[in-house]
Structure 1
Amino acid sequence: MDHFLYRDGALYAEDVPISEIAAAVGTPFYCYSTATLERHFRLFDEALEGVDHLVCYAMKAASNQAILKTLAALGAGMDVVSGGEYARAIAAGVPGERIVFSGVGKTREEISAALTGGIRQFNVESEPEMEAINAVALELGKVAPITVRVNPDVDAKTHAKIATGKSENKFGIPISRARDVYAHAASLKGLKVIGIDVHIGSQLTELEPFELAYNKVAELTEQLRADGHEITRLDLGGGLGIPYERSNSAPPLPVEYGAMIKRVLGPQGCEIEIEPGRLIAGNAGIMVTEVIYVKEGEDREFLIVDGAMNDLIRPAMYEAHHDIVPVVEPVPGEEPARYDIVGPVCESGDTFAKGRALATSKAGDLIAFRSAGAYGAVMSSEYNSRPLIPEVLVNGDQFAVIRRRPSYEEMINRDSIPTWL
């Protein structure tokens, strides 16, 4: 469920007409709903009620300060994968004890910053990284809390570019080697082993892969405890999918996911961490764009819009589907037209949809890409020297620009000219 609904023939974000925002900030732009962000976080939090747990929002989905502050106010932790994300979490007022540091390539500088500023745990991805964290911790006179990310070799049944739990992926340590790696970790004076980490991928639409992985984690927990390790925390990652196509069957609900976690891992008596990102932010955001031209092709019509692949790269990168709707509600019974919906970037890859049914459109019409709140703005760029587009947050009948569109001059002035020029 989201809070982008038609009212009196117009698309609204909560209680604000989308057309009103477009008139104020121009197009294209991202728009987020506070009510949807809050609702989706609470669904996860309530799903784990009765179990000691922390819901850590995966910041890579959408990391604007206003979004982070909205979630932090509800008690969310943060899952970060870079020094920049760690700095963003701290700037948003999230205490270090609610920040988990994931990612395969943590640098010594990032490790030092997190140890100095405070960290809940590092999710260790490799033995060289483990040695680096130990060395930095000893240099600083600290002890670093860690979990080890194990790779359970489970097929997440998702897009190959966002699957992370198979043996061929770069993530984690093979679960078959986990006991040896934990034994080594226990011998390092700068580390304190507190638990196990696992994450098998993103946009999962079935619970079975999760359950297969979590059963392996339950077995490993018992083995490690028998080896003398104090395993008190299980970090289960994120990955629960969202319904990008409203006509398709919906992925499992957070309450179903939570029930499975309790059933499989409850007997271990551990604190549970989960790291949802897409399901919290995805349907909480849309991208709004304006039709520039309707172009007649040889065998099709093109809807050329002012949004482009640099603004929303998911269709070009992942062949991703986004439902696309007009901002003015179609007349009931009106026969839709079919368009290839494309942007102005000089690449054929700048195509959002082919042969998509949409209400008959003309230049100046506004259309909205649904489910664009996750991996939209954060993956955008200034390719073709197109400015980053505004982000807008709605709260009830109010809206605010939370990232403005830079001018061409600001973009150009970030470049530095060598003295010889």
Structure 2
Amino acid sequence: MLSLPQLIGFSEQNGQWFAENVSLSSIAQEFGTPCYVYSKKALTHAFDAYDKACFRKDGTRRARVHYAMKANSNLAILNIFSKLGTGFDLVSGGELARVLAAGGKASDCVFSGVGKSHSEIATALKAGVKCFNVESIPELTRINEIASSLQLKAPISLRVNPDVDAKTHPYISTGLKDNKFGITFEDVIHTYQVAHQMSNIQIVGIDCHIGSQILEISPFLDALDRVLSLIQELKTVGIAIQHLDIGGGLGIDYGGDTPPDITKFANTLLDHIEKSGFTDLEVIFEPGRSLVGNAGVLLTLVEYLKPGETKNFCIVDAAMNDLMRPAMYEAFHAIVPINSSSTDSSVYDVVGPVCETGDWLGRDRKLSVVSGDVLAILSAGAYGFSMSSNYNTRPRAAEVMVDDMVVHVIRERETLENLYQGERII
């Protein structure tokens, strides 16, 4: 039996799949395939689940959500979250430009990432970002020098590498000693003391992010305890921390996964901080996948059914360039026909047209399909379009947003001419 994720905004009714109140079949017919489809209802529901935990019983705020926009950076999605009240977690100057273009504020942005360039730092300083999450002493030195040249103070927090196993895929684990991220736990106090002596650095916070698609609360609590101990130790050497950024990384249900309930997860961490005696810290969550992952699907057309001696192949018009996660992480996405069929089912590998054996979207899937049917690849709202490419000179997919009965095009499908318009023959 196929295990489907628990979805908000997408549903199957009498053999037909819908995004809110619009059939996916009508969307595929009007906008073509491959096509990403998002539900505004699902985005809002996920945000509300976090926001519910961000207030105490007396109504006072104890935390705020900063969307980790690398998961999906479409302007329409950023605008929706900005209107709901999120800040943003950035990892590039391009992402800052997107926030501003979407109507967000630089002062609501934290700038993360291990390789911030000179121009990115200068632009972010001039724009007035909330803070930089600093990951090394060389980066700290560069920020101080640039801030000095601009006659500005740079607000910073240090990203702590707590050496905690997030129990997730090694490519998306970020909190172990052999990962490239953050300041080694044993070096954090010294690095803060170095920062404290820099004339154009203002220490405002501390940051920790241990990975992605984490399905248990215990690794978060382990990391949190290590960071809270650092805050206490910093206080004894005269360095005050104003905010605690506890990162993101909460997993979603891709089909058979059992992540914690969002509100329960957030409450558990926030209650733990307050019970540990830290009641005056501003706390920041940086969710990405758990806000958008199950708010999107990828529609794709069945081009051919190719039977084989050991494998049957369902060849579709979407490919690894449209959805990289299966090829990169061997990730599972549930795949369903958007309309039921009386055709006998067979077991297929769902593959795309890209000239790579690694171009697959699902393996060993029992499907009742014929050529011309449309499939929905579920849970594709995070790290779908944002990781897509033009490999094999393939235009990137269209993106649409469903808001109740209205379907909005939020990114037009690329044309072939778009792909080489900046190129020149010599």
* TM-score bin, normalised by smaller chain: over 0.9
Partner of residue 348 from structure 1, selected from 334, 352, 357: 357
Give the % identical residues: 46
Question: Which letter does structure 1 place at the counterpart of 2:322?
Answer: D
Structure 1 residue 300, shift from structure 2 partner: 2.6
Cα distance in structure 1, aligned partners of 2:415 and 2:44: 32
Q: Which residue of 2 aligns with 1:362?
A: 370
**Alpha-carbon RMSD:** 1.2
Superposition map of 1:95-134 within 5 A: 95-134=105-144
Q: Which residue of 2 aligns with 1:60?
A: 70
Superposition map of 1:142-291 within 5 A: 142-245=152-255, 248-266=256-274, 267-269=277-279, 270-291=281-302
Structure 1 runs not aligned, ≥5 long: none
Question: Which letter does structure 1 place at the counterpart of 2:290?
Answer: L
Structure 1 residue 324, shift from structure 2 partner: 0.4
CA contact (8 A) 2:341 2:369 kept: no
Question: Which letter does structure 2 place at the counterpart of 1:300?
Answer: K
Tell me the TM-score normalized by structure 1.
0.96
Residue 282 of structure 1: SS of its match in structure 2?
A: helix
1:300 partnered with 2:311: yes
Hey, which bits of structure 1, 4+ residues long, moved more than 2 A? 334-337
Structure 1 residue 335, shift from structure 2 partner: 6.7
Q: Which residue of 2 aligns with 1:140?
A: 150
Partner of residue 41 from structure 1, selected from 47, 68, 91: 47
Superposition map of 1:73-88 within 5 A: 73-88=83-98
Cα distance in structure 1, aligned partners of 2:310 and 2:178: 42
Q: Which residue of 2 aligns with 1:323?
A: 334
Cα distance in structure 1, aligned partners of 2:400 and 2:314: 25
1:96-133 per-position Cα deviation (integer Å, ceiling 9, x unaligned): 11111000001111111111111111000000000111
1:241-275 per-position Cα deviation (integer Å, ceiling 9, x unaligned): 00111xx2421111221222123212212110010
1:169-191 per-position Cα deviation (integer Å, ceiling 9, x unaligned): 00000111111101110001111
Structure 1 residue 417, shift from structure 2 partner: 1.8
Cα distance in structure 2, aligned partners of 1:261 and 1:300: 46
Residue 268 of structure 1: SS of its match in structure 2?
A: coil
CA contact (8 A) 1:218 1:264 kept: no
Q: Which residue of 2 aligns with 1:25?
A: 31
Question: Which letter does structure 1 place at the counterpart of 2:38?
Answer: Y
Cα distance in structure 1, aligned partners of 2:376 and 2:35: 10
Cα distance in structure 2, aligned partners of 1:413 and 1:273: 41
Cα distance in structure 1, aligned partners of 2:360 and 2:380: 15
Residue 363 of structure 1: SS of its match in structure 2?
A: coil
Residue 291 of structure 1: SS of its match in structure 2?
A: strand
Structure 2 runs not aligned, ≥5 long: 1-6
CA contact (8 A) 1:6 1:329 kept: no
Structure 1 residue 9, shift from structure 2 partner: 2.9
Structure 1 residue 292, shift from structure 2 partner: 0.3
Residue 84 of structure 2: SS of its match in structure 1?
A: coil
Aligned positions, number = 413
1:261-307 per-position Cα deviation (integer Å, ceiling 9, x unaligned): 12321221211001000000100000000100011111232100000
Q: Which residue of 1 aligns with 2:10?
A: 4
1:325-358 per-position Cα deviation (integer Å, ceiling 9, x unaligned): 1101357xx9742111111111110112221122
Residue 73 of structure 2: SS of its match in structure 1?
A: coil
Q: Which residue of 2 aligns with 1:90?
A: 100
Cα distance in structure 2, aligned partners of 1:216 and 1:377: 35
